[in-house]
Structure 1
Amino acid sequence: MPKLTSLLALASIAALLTGCTVTPSGRPQADPQPATSAASAPPSPSVTASATPFASASAAPSTEAAIPSASATPEPTPVASSEPAAPVGIIVTPEVEWGVATATVAQGSSFTITGSGYAPGQRISIALGIAQSDAFVFQDQSALADAVGNYSFTITLDPDLEPRTYAVVTSTPDGLEPGPAVSETRRWATIEVVPA
């Protein structure tokens, strides 16, 4: 009977942690809902994109245990953490000048774009398309600048996305008339997609 109680406790803990990730502080945090992409001409495989908080320079690793211990009564699971998660993997910051920021990314893998110097809460519009063309893999995605004007946005490429040169384009169009005013806010990053 004691084994059955332990198994029930572990099952309860597992159910509570479903959909959670572990933050650098070691505390579980609910996964953000990824924004899905919309494909436009030409038809292309899907791309999943999700915003992630930008890491602060003062973030330090925690020594707290990330795995809860089994007990008869599970402890409540926190759903939010005050410490932002650091972007991992390939990180690229789009620049004002085309061709300055570049990254090589394999099909099916992820990369994170970042930026700083924005107004707190400012919306950054994000699009991924075929370089030097009007063909988009996705557009109309966005991230919000944090309290100090930083943003971070993770893009996961579909494993079947055609290997070629793509471009990430960001802008801050809110409150601006379409045209030159929006064009002045654009930032670019070249993304070479290679076979996995």
Structure 2
Amino acid sequence: MSDIGALPDGGPLRDEPLDPEVLSSELVYEGRVWDVRSDRVRYGDGEIVRQYVAHPGAVAIVALDDEGRVLLIQQYRHPIRHRDWELPAGLLDVPGEDPAAAAQRELAEEADLVAAHWEPLVSSWTTPGGNDELIQLFLATGITAADAAHSREDEEADIRLAWVPLDDAVAAVLDGRMRNGILAIGVLAAAQRLRDRG
């Protein structure tokens, strides 16, 4: 068997940090939520220029009820011109806020729910060739209604919520019927986590 791609140190497979010298970094566009930067970087024997979205990071929640159903939300996303199915999620836009606390806040804000049990599930760079967003996903169980409902506006004003059997959500992802990347990562990771627990 070929050892192409084998790790040189024989250690576990993982992403490797690399910090090349940034010769210049220019703010190209300052947005309400995120910015666009252009960096000139020393790389190898030369230089490269890369533009990317500078993102504050985000959290998402795989909320499972006592019947093994996952909470999905559907809302309009203008760049793709779809109302796609997603997980409850939100930006890390409160300075100094712990990601777990942000996840609890987002579940309440988007679905008017709270959870008794929280655990880290998985994390992912959403589009590493185009932005630096790291999203951290949490598994939430022991779901109950929040004490108060949140008001919502714009695309969030007509969010649809659905409790879907986790296996049905996995099948929809694998069949290509639901294409949101964060949802795919979350439901597949949750299904594996439950399998591991037996």
Provide the TM-score with structure 2 as the length reference. Answer: 0.22
Q: Which has more strand, going by share of residues?
A: 2
Higher relative contact order (CA 8 A, sep 6+): 1
